[in-house]
């Protein structure tokens, strides 16, 4: 069977659009000028929901309770519409109406985790260029030659939480070494090593089942730079391949290398529940 070709630019396959000529023209609603009514306006509950505070249904409850102000005035009217330039606050906190988006990429090799590169190298932003019109940023980073899961979002609060050491977000890597890992070195990693920038303790480490002993699985919550590679280099091994297979509970299931997908609502909820 012929192996499917990978598309490093498009992400998920898109359905082809039908023949535009076969569709009925839809007249825009509006006044005598033909311009749509309420152009640029957005319902207050949608504005609040897009800001990531809560769902639209929950926003109705908060609005009715007086938790939301527009231009420093409490608005409890259902169906109220916000105009461009209005200042909306929830319990005093300024809201940004940009819809929060979350995109998961299975990163291939030879792409660097940065938004741009003055040396002209390929960046991960090229891989998700068709995923969203919003300005998404990577959560953390993966080395150029490291593959696997990389999350992108415009939700700054969540990104900060997922990268802060206090939350100890778990990552699992599949490591392939240049030679078999000795049992004694496996025990050293389990016990904990002291690197040049301080001690490091892994959550779990083991040989990959039904694979040569040069392949190892390692679970770790440290976010220190190149930490997995440095653990094995400290013991005299070279990391030939490094693949992040789990990140904060997200997996690579049904996500081919070089492709992306949007997170499900439940996955977003799970991430926000991380303490």
Task: Decide: residue 261, CB within 10 A, 0-12 exposed, 13-18 middle, 19+ buried.
Answer: middle
Closest by CA to 189, choosing from 179, 178, 200, is 200
Angle at 159 between CA 147 and CA 61, to 5 degrees: 135
> What angle do helix axes 156-163 and 265-272 make, rounded to 10 degrees?
60
Cα(273)–Cα(195) distance, integer angstroms: 32
Contact between 177 and 218 (Cβ < 8 Å): no
Active centre residues (catalytic): 143
Contact between 152 and 103 (Cβ < 8 Å): yes
Convert 182-195 to b/e letters by CB count within 10 Å (16 or more is b): eeebbeebeeebee
CA dihedral over 160, 161, 165, 168, signed as positive or negative: negative
Cα(168)–Cα(141) distance, integer angstroms: 16
């Amino acid at each position: 069977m012929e192996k499917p070709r990978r598309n490093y630019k498009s992400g998920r396959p898109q359905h082809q659009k039908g023949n535009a000529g076969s569709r009925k023209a839809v007249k825009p609603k509006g006044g005598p000028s033909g311009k749509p009514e309420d152009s640029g306006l957005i319902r207050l509950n949608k504005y609040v929901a897009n800001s990531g505070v809560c769902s639209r249904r929950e926003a109705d409850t908060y609005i009715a309770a007086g938790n939301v102000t527009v231009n420093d005035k409490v608005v409890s009217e259902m169906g109220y519409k916000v105009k461009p330039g209005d200042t909306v606050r929830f319990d005093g906190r300024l809201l940004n109406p940009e819809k929060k988006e979350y995109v998961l990429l299975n990163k291939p090799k030879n792409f660097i985790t940065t938004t741009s590169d003055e040396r002209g190298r390929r960046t991960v932003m090229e891989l998700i260029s068709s995923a969203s019109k919003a300005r998404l940023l990577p959560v953390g980073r993966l080395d150029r030659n490291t593959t696997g899961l990389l999350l992108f979002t415009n939700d700054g609060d969540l990104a900060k939480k997922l990268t802060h050491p206090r939350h100890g977000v778990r990552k699992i890597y599949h490591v392939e070494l240049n030679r078999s890992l000795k049992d004694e070195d496996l025990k050293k990693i389990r016990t904990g090593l002291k690197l040049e920038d301080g001690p490091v303790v892994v959550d779990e480490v083991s040989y990959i089942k039904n694979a040569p002993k040069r392949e190892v699985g390692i679970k770790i919550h440290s976010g220190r730079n190149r930490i997995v590679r440095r653990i094995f280099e400290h013991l005299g091994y070279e990391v030939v391949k490094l693949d992040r297979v789990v990140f904060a509970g997200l997996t690579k299931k049904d996500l081919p290398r070089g492709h992306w997908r949007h997170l499900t609502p439940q996955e977003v909820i799970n991430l926000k529940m991380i303490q």
